Structure 1
Amino acid sequence: MREISRRSALIGGVGALGAATLGGVASAAAGRTATPFTLGVASGDPSPAGVVLWTRLATDPLADDGLGGMAARTVQVEWELATDERFTRIERRGVETAVPELGHSVHVELIGLRPGHCYYYRFRADGHLSPAGRTRTAPAARSITSPLTMCFASCAQYEHGYFTAYRRLAEECPDLVLHLGDYQYEYAPNVYVAPGGNVRDHVGPKTTTLANYRQRYAQYKTDPDLQAAHAVAPWVVVLDDHEVENNWAGMVPEKPDPRFAEKRRAAFQAYYENMPLRRSALPTGSEMRLYRRIGWGGLATFHMLDTRQYRDDQACGDGTKSCPERFNPKRTITGAAQEAWLLDGFRRSRARWDVLGQQVFFSQKDVQVGPGERNDMDAWDGYAASRDRIVEGWTSAGVRNAVVLTGDVHAAWASNVHKRWSDPDSPSVGTELVTSSITSGGDGSETRPDTEGVFKENTHLKFFNNRRGYVRTRFTPHEVLVDYRAVQKVSTPGKPVQTKASFRIVDRIPKLFRRV
């Protein structure tokens, strides 16, 4: 990254920047060439002193070769950071080189910014100006004075509906957004069909190559509702299965595939290219380091987990079933290194709230009514000993408040986390908040016929809703306020958002309290 000093830079402002000549490229070029900023802008992974700014250049985003219409040459991309949305108070300027080897993506890692501060940013390339985005740095270490509004989401199947929930999330103006996986889906058109039918189509075949994955991300990122959600606040992202393929585990694909390692390598590269991630996440072959911690002053620590890349294969052939093998103490969903990292983080934490940002259902969920059990082998139920070690880890470390955030299941749930699942009278030692999907599953419903029996079998479960949406939270030193937000339909765009349920988690009281 080459940074231009404020003293030598030109005057900021949307009008001024659009009319000026920057880097020797006249703005008149905008009238002759297509804009390369069709995929929007984003920011992510904030720290007290910095944040990542992202864009990816694509003049023809849906091109079959995955190159987005860009020539096989480097492009100089100028960026600006300001303290006001009109860009009259420029804090930083610089130039980043977008290279074809990384899909002409841009990742600007800023340092030396002010803690707990709001900034605005934009890019310029080939005479074109990008949309502006808003971002912010995390508060200073140990600071707990400022509340945090954080929204989290997952599971956006483009074919199943319109991304209205992303638009409504943007309208919440959160300080931070967590995306917990299934940002895009790998299926060929009309293979994965929502109840009632799909309302729009995937472009291209099933994703198996780097070109396929790049094209698929580009299709999703051209959606204006998703672009609005990215532009409103910094995101912290982790992937789940569909960024590669359904229900993969470690180096084991869902179905036998001798080229799976090659597919995973392509999927990881495309994920990095399309997300506001730091260079520490740049893949090495088919490996990618995504588990990390994001601190929000002394108020919250977000332990972002990767429950796909290091897990053992699903027990008993996957699916929902009765499976004694799920209790095998050697089975892991995190891998040994990530588990040790997480447990060490619990021991070192001084945060008011320790939050696990992760992908699959954490709490036990027995779906068999009556004697016996049937559990989801793809969730933590399939790795029961691994889950027990995590729960024991935060309790023995004296974590003040443990909150688990979850995606994956295309429905909203809320749960108390008990110390011993076999004993419903054992103390609650944490809470789990499960977001519904953005679109996956289509319009959905208020309930499902099977949920009444599930609640009887699992008294720690406190809420269910099958509409599409996200979860809005507000963290303070004394409590977390939780609102389950949903739109009634995704089969038609533009529907309003409603609050389906609200909860309160009180400091040092690890259970959910319903708010009216």
Structure 2
Amino acid sequence: MITRRSLFAGGVSLGLSAALGATPVRAAARRAPLSGLFTLGVASGEPTHDGVVLWTRLAKDPIALDGFGGLPDRPVPVQWQLAKDENFRHVVRRGAEVARRAAAHSVHVELDGLDPGAEYFYRFKAGGELSPVGRTLTAPAPGTRGRPLNLSFTSCADYQTGWFTPYRRMAEDQPDLIAFLGDYIYEYGDYKYPVRDQAGGECLDLAGYRVRHAQHKADPESQLAHAIAPWVVVWDDHDIENAWAGDVPEQPDPPFLKRRAEAFQAYYENMPLRRAQKPAQKPDGAALKLYRSIRWGEVANLHLLDTRQYRDLYACTGKSGTVGPDCLDRFEPNRTILGRDQEAWLDDRLKRSRATWDLLGQQVFLMEMDWTNGEGKGYSNEGWDGYVASRNRLTAAIDAYRRNAVVLTGDVHSHWAGEVKRDHQDPGSKSVAVELVTTSVTSAGNGLDEYPNTQVLLEENPHVKFFNGRRGYVRTRLTQQEMKVEFRSLSRVTEPYAPAYTSGSFVIEPGRPALNPA
């Protein structure tokens, strides 16, 4: 049976030879895991029309429990190269950084002045060792309308519940951009019957979060996906603690703000983020501003939202869960899931947008969802149903500014697609956006294509048009004329190397916020 709670519960390396050139970066030949300093691979992210961030983190022993990757307390010089070709015959930029113990020997290289809409290849060198090669892209120049965006997105990678094969399948598509929409790690301790053993117990401090991130980055399928295209990331709850809301933890936890600050620090260290996004230490705990926009010419703007750090506490109960229609707190006009500053920022971005598509990358169901089968209704107070006024302010902006809005959502460990209404409380309300919900990488195990109550849920939520309960990702292709959507599913993740198949496909047209069968 599908219930909201059940939805929320729970070897290829790109390493090249020392000469770097014996195998192209796109190759999928099986190789032994990396050894030496670059056991965590490479990544890039945050593309602009003239720049990108290059990332690596040095570690000889990724799961050393002190979180320092088996490296001594001394700085390590790291050289980097950027080239037009994967064999580095045409190097266009080079430089050096210092990997320091205070940042877990991570390196963030921010580049600008690059060609717009260009493909580049990059690598690092430290201690006489060369890293794997990564591929990255810059966005098209402002005003460019002819360059499509091939975007893939996913969420929820629980190391213990499966193999990261969806990362491999996503990498094989060679997208232009990968968006990860939350729960990159899980903070939980050991499960009773894991598919794979994780290092360390529950993440409670900086060392614990660093080890968990390192184990994910050391996974060969993860390295393949990170090296094939630039990433943009936002967090959800498990990146810090299950069901946290602003300054409030799920369980009484006096040092929560310290724990949150250390989780933020580890998140920054292990992601290809810009220095401007580095956590700022404040008296009431760290802050890390993750909401931002990625512009892809005039084809699309991807607005990445943070629905955790600034939200009001959960309606009615104060705890994440399902509430009935008698929970009137959901409709309180001042309640917000984004916080006032982020709401104003997003409104301004939508008002000023001239792109064909405005994509909203975020974490929890935006469209209304009745999770109770049969008589009665039940709504998640963790999703936007717990913040109805906040949702209505957003849908009003989309409608007023006549934006072609598509909401990209993670969190629930299954594929969904539906239409967002201007006001879900009005039965005659028009659709103003489409919502595409990606399944998980591994969370909740293999899943099923359809559950016994799938059809009941779809009938009771007629604005929802599609469901699939397997693991996987969503791939899309955006042009001026249309947005093509394919929900990619895998039959299993409890064993590695399952093939991916398309469980649902749709086309969205500008000016028509509806899902059309492909």
TM value normalised by structure 1:
0.92
Question: 1:205 Cα shift?
Answer: 1.2
Write out per-residue CA displacement over residues 193-216 of structure 1, whole angstroms, 9 at most, x where no aligned residue.
xxxx42112210100110000011
Q: Which residue of 2 aligns with 1:233?
A: 229
Q: Give distance in 2, aligned partners of 1:341 and 1:107.
A: 26
Q: Secondary structure at the match of 1:249?
A: coil
- Contact preservation (8 Å) 1:365, 1:375: yes
Q: Which residue of 1 aligns with 2:340?
A: 336
Matches within 5 A, 1:492-511: 492-511=495-514
Cα 1:370/1:492, change in 2 over 3 Å: closer
Q: Give distance in 2, aligned partners of 1:335 and 1:395.
A: 21
Q: Give distance in 2, aligned partners of 1:421 and 1:454.
A: 16
Q: Which residue of 2 aligns with 1:5?
A: none
Kindly provide the amino acid, as one letter, of the partner of residue 248 in structure 2. V
Q: Which residue of 2 aligns with 1:199?
A: 195
Q: Give distance in 2, aligned partners of 1:328 and 1:274.
A: 38
Kindly provide the amino acid, as one letter, of the partner of residue 258 in structure 1. P
Kindly provide the amino acid, as one letter, of the partner of residue 391 in structure 2. R
| Structure 2 gaps, min length 5 | 1-15, 22-33
Kindly provide the amino acid, as one letter, of the partner of residue 206 in structure 1. E
Write out per-residue CA displacement over residues 105-164 of structure 1, whole angstroms, 9 at most, x where no aligned residue.
000000000000000000000011000000000000010101111000100100100000
Q: Which residue of 1 aligns with 2:480?
A: 477
1:312 aligns with 2:330: no
Q: Give distance in 1, aligned partners of 2:262 and 2:322.
A: 30
Q: Which residue of 1 aligns with 2:24?
A: none
Q: Give distance in 2, aligned partners of 1:65 and 1:201.
A: 18
| Structure 1 gaps, min length 5 | 1-12, 19-32, 192-196
Q: Secondary structure at the match of 2:227?
A: helix
Write out per-residue CA displacement over residues 417-473 of structure 1, whole angstroms, 9 at most, x where no aligned residue.
111212343211110000000000001001112222211221100000100000000
- Contact preservation (8 Å) 1:99, 1:105: yes
Match of 1:353 among 350, 353, 357: 357
- Contact preservation (8 Å) 2:18, 2:130: no
Q: Give distance in 2, aligned partners of 1:39 and 1:106.
A: 12
- Contact preservation (8 Å) 2:165, 2:493: yes
Q: Secondary structure at the match of 1:441?
A: coil
Q: Give distance in 2, aligned partners of 1:252 and 1:384.
A: 21
- Contact preservation (8 Å) 1:14, 1:87: no
Q: Give distance in 2, aligned partners of 1:437 and 1:418.
A: 25
Match of 1:256 among 252, 255, 260: 252
1:147 aligns with 2:148: yes
Q: Which residue of 1 aligns with 2:205?
A: 209
- Contact preservation (8 Å) 1:424, 1:460: no
Write out per-residue CA displacement over residues 220-248 of structure 1, whole angstroms, 9 at most, x where no aligned residue.
11110010000000000000000101010
Q: Secondary structure at the match of 2:359?
A: strand
Match of 1:393 among 394, 397, 402: 397
Kindly provide the amino acid, as one letter, of the partner of residue 233 in structure 1. A
Q: Give distance in 1, aligned partners of 2:18 and 2:267.
A: 34
Q: Which residue of 2 aligns with 1:321?
A: 323
Matches within 5 A, 1:26-37: 35-37=36-38
Q: Secondary structure at the match of 1:453?
A: helix
Question: 1:367 Cα shift?
Answer: 1.5
- Contact preservation (8 Å) 1:241, 1:248: yes
Matches within 5 A, 1:67-106: 67-106=68-107
Q: Which residue of 1 aligns with 2:11?
A: none
Q: Which residue of 2 aligns with 1:221?
A: 217
Kindly provide the amino acid, as one letter, of the partner of residue 387 in structure 2. Y
Write out per-residue CA displacement over residues 273-301 of structure 1, whole angstroms, 9 at most, x where no aligned residue.
00000011100121101000110000000
Question: 1:16 Cα shift?
Answer: 5.9
Write out per-residue CA displacement over residues 455-495 of structure 1, whole angstroms, 9 at most, x where no aligned residue.
12211000001000000000010000000001100010001
Write out per-residue CA displacement over residues 288-328 of structure 1, whole angstroms, 9 at most, x where no aligned residue.
01000110000000110000000011112320121221111
Q: How many residues align?
A: 484
Q: Give distance in 2, aligned partners of 1:77 and 1:344.
A: 40
Kindly provide the amino acid, as one letter, of the partner of residue 318 in structure 1. S
Q: Secondary structure at the match of 2:294?
A: strand
- Contact preservation (8 Å) 1:14, 1:86: no
Q: Which residue of 2 aligns with 1:170?
A: 171
Q: Give distance in 2, aligned partners of 1:161 and 1:305.
A: 27
Q: Give distance in 2, aligned partners of 1:484 and 1:166.
A: 14
Q: Secondary structure at the match of 1:337?
A: helix
Kindly provide the amino acid, as one letter, of the partner of residue 220 in structure 1. H
- Contact preservation (8 Å) 2:161, 2:494: yes
Q: Secondary structure at the match of 1:262?
A: helix
Q: Which residue of 2 aligns with 1:39?
A: 40
Q: Secondary structure at the match of 1:46?
A: coil
- Contact preservation (8 Å) 2:74, 2:100: yes
Cα 1:142/1:14, change in 2 over 3 Å: farther
- Contact preservation (8 Å) 1:424, 1:459: no
Q: Give distance in 2, aligned partners of 1:227 and 1:17.
A: 17
Q: Give distance in 2, aligned partners of 1:453 and 1:492.
A: 31
Kindly provide the amino acid, as one letter, of the partner of residue 90 in structure 2. R
Q: Give distance in 1, aligned partners of 2:346 and 2:441.
A: 28
- Contact preservation (8 Å) 1:420, 1:426: yes
- Aligned identity (percent) is 54
Q: Which residue of 2 aligns with 1:458?
A: 461
